[in-house]
Amino acid sequence: MENYLDTLNPQQYEAVTSTEGCIRVIAGAGSGKTRALSHRFAYLVNEIGIMPGNILCVTFTNKSANEMRQRIHNLTGDNDTGFISTFHGFCNTILLEESYAVSYPKNFIVLDNADIDEMLRMIYEERNLTLRHMTFSKARDMIEIVKLKERPEYYLDLIHMNVEQLKEKYLRAHTPKDIIFYGYLYQQKKCFGLDYNDLILLTLYIFENHEDIKRKWQEKLEYIMIDEFQDIDDLQYRLMKVLAGFHQNLFIVGDPDQTIYTWRGARIQYLMDFDREFPNVKTIMMPQNYRSTPEILNAANSLIAKNEQRIRKELVPVCPHGLAVQVHEAKTEKEEARWILQTIQSLHQEGIEYRDIAILYRAHYITRSIEDEFLKEELPYTIYSGVQFYARMEIKDALSYLRMIVYKDDLSFLRVVNTPKRNIGERRMKFLKNYAEQNHVSLYEALKLCVDDDLFKATKGKAFIALIERFSKEYPGQPVSEVLTSLLDQSGYETMLRTEGSQERLDNLAELKQSILDYEISCGEEADLEHYLAHIALFTNADLEMKQNSVKLMTVHTAKGLEFEHVFLIGMNEGMFPTKKVNSLESMEEERRLAFVAMTRAKKSLFLTESNGRNFDGSPKYPSRFILDIDPRYLTFTPPMSETLIEDARQYIEIHERFLRFKIDQPAWKAGDRVEHAVFGPGTIVDTDPLNNVHTIRFDKLNTERKISYRAKLKKIEAQ
């Protein structure tokens, strides 16, 4: 049998066999990072004899964790694949053991967006807020920003305050922002719900305050490996440092050209400064690319070379030659979609499977015209990460039923008690809420205590309680997939969908059951219901298996880490890719890296498409600067682009670049600051919007507020 180590190139081999101390691998796209990581894990286990449970391998998504687990299983033959998870997933695992240290029960709930929305709904209802005050998605963003930036100590409230104290704080809040924020903390504490930030912060808190617990985990983790290190953020970095504090065996892999999460707090500096932060770091470079043809790599290399803030490195092709990268310019968006469809049809006629084709784009809205064409011609396609699969109504309902039989928590109760209808509508629910509040019991307990009252006579409350009690007793030891199947059947949920004729929803449930089966197979013994529920909130749409034989449509962010035989990168117009939102040179460089990530997903062929015409605001459409950045020797244009269009585009891009280069050398103003404007005189900053580079200022002499660009010179008026 071929030794698994023989499949590695010299750099990969070095990375795999350098086990002690701090190792940094700077690797290019498609250079076999995943291969290096999985083989290193296998090497530690097979050759050195390390126990898998003493290795932590951190991946960026659950999907990559699953893939990694599978690969490692194949290499080691061992069912115990140690800790392979995201940072959040790993904190979840730690908290399942240690949450008592912050007085949280073992059955805390990991909240996903839909849970948070459910809480927001309650808060809005209670405090008469409407979506006009803030949409749910803005409220979620606001909560995250407040947690990360404005009140980073918030978690101390969550840990030290009891429900009553948090409720006090919530009731005392009077601005919509405070009401929502404290309402959310109160709701969180009520059901011991934790969101992604809390998972990491609570873990860090426990480590900082409990030396024994910290030491236990540090000693356990003899080897730590981290993938996609270029996208690590502050909290994750802090956590990593603590975890590696004892054995100091840290292996990190990253590609500075693939940082695409700066907007979410990723700091590439951690990768670049790693050798200064840690002792005796060994750096290994992996430039060979095994994925793409030299034609694709030449084009990608010449694009990324345009970034100024960058360490120069080129991807070195290993694959044989293929076709040139094709650029297609269409007259309209509709024609662009039509061309894509026809090209896919002819690829298919040549024997290429639909599943090997991916369409990538910067933002979702662009898929509409593609979908129109595909639907007309019945070309099979799947959109990834549109509405999050796990956020779909029927999926949430099904998971809430599962959660209900384990946790009997209020959130799940609210979702399922009257779905299907059990005649427990608004009035009865209000009664239950009051009762629960006054008697300090959960809603489910309240129903159990009141079900014999007259108010509940005409309901199916009793049957619901019997169902939950029966399943609560019976689920331990049963496979999750079986529990779910009978629960959906006996609760009447599936019948309800069938009566409604919701075939799509039934199909989604079938998909969920399939994903649970896959989960059971990949997790082995750990696959009990509690474990499943503890991890489900961390799953995302991208984690679902991409099984169907259909063309895949997804954003470039979703495509990160994936590869496809044939890639169409579409909507390559100024304002779309790069997006309009770019407002600094740094974010333009991040945008270019994103285009680089997109191009390097392709193995055999790559098509870049764009269209003429006008944008929504009436301005003319230009081809993306990223197309013009690529050395034309590496592109074939079908049809050739008009010289005047290229000229106009270049002019537009030059002006835009000049604007981006314009340095804002102002002190950072904040709301409340008194400033002097050259024309309007003194005023007070009401708000500042760094995304659009604009302040809102109330000038003493004007009746209404003005939006003033960061470009305007302002002088500080010192307080008297």
Ligand X SMILES: Nc1ncnc2c1ncn2[C@@H]1O[C@H](COP(=O)(O)OP(=O)(O)OP(=O)(O)O)[C@@H](O)[C@H]1O
Which residues would be at the binding site for ligand X (CB under 6 A)?
Answer: 7-9, 12, 27, 29-35, 255, 258, 290-291, 561, 600
Q: Tokens representing 169? A: 């704080």
Residue in the structure block whose two tokens are 């191009």: 599
- Candidates 61, 81, 230, 258; catalytic one: 258
Q: Nearer Cβ to ligand X, position 52 or 561?
A: 561
Q: How far is the CB of 561 from ligand X (least distance, A)?
A: 4
Q: How far is the CB of 545 from ligand X (least distance, A)?
A: 17
- Candidates 227, 329, 333, 335; catalytic one: 227
Please, what sign has the CA dihedral across residues 158, 163, 169, 173? positive
Contact by Cβ (8 Å): 412, 403: yes
Helical ranges in 491-572 per DSSP H: 493-500, 503-523, 529-536, 556-559
Please, what sign has the CA dihedral across residues 506, 510, 516, 522? negative
Q: How far is the CB of 180 from ligand X (least distance, A)?
A: 38
Contact by Cβ (8 Å): 287, 315: yes
- Candidates 11, 12, 34, 688; catalytic one: 34
Q: How far is the CB of 6 from ligand X (least distance, A)?
A: 10
Residue 203 is among the residues annotated as catalytic for this protein:
no
- Candidates 11, 12, 33, 115; catalytic one: 33
- Candidates 112, 118, 195, 228; catalytic one: 228
Q: Nearer Cβ to ligand X, position 24 or 338?
A: 24
Q: How far is the CB of 34 from ligand X (least distance, A)?
A: 3
Helical ranges in 600-642 per DSSP H: 625-629
Q: How far is the CB of 76 from ligand X (least distance, A)?
A: 18
The residue nearest ligand X at its CB is 32
Distances (CA, A) of 144 to 184, 191, 644, 688: 11, 19, 46, 18
Q: Nearer Cβ to ligand X, position 34 or 93?
A: 34
Contact by Cβ (8 Å): 488, 402: no
Angle at 582 between CA 579 and CA 583, to 5 degrees: 155
Q: Tokens representing 429? A: 């629910």
Q: How far is the CB of 289 from ligand X (least distance, A)?
A: 8
Residue 689 is among the residues annotated as catalytic for this protein:
no
Provide φ and ψ at 606, rounded to 5°. -140, 130
Q: Nearer Cβ to ligand X, position 72 or 91?
A: 72
Q: Of the candidates 589, 601, 590, 511, which has an alpha carbon nearest to the alpha carbon of residue 555?
A: 601
Q: Nearer Cβ to ligand X, position 68 or 488?
A: 68
Residue 720 is among the residues annotated as catalytic for this protein:
no
Q: Nearer Cβ to ligand X, position 80 or 563?
A: 563
- Checking 76-80 for CB contacts under 8 A at 24+ apart, the result is 76/41, 76/42, 76/45, 76/46, 76/52, 78/45, 78/52, 79/524, 79/525, 80/51, 80/52, 80/53
Determine the 3-state secondary structure of 378 from DSSP.
Answer: coil
Residue 452 is among the residues annotated as catalytic for this protein:
no
- Candidates 601, 603, 604, 621; catalytic one: 601
Q: Nearer Cβ to ligand X, position 45 or 286?
A: 286
Active site residues: 33-34, 227-228, 258, 601
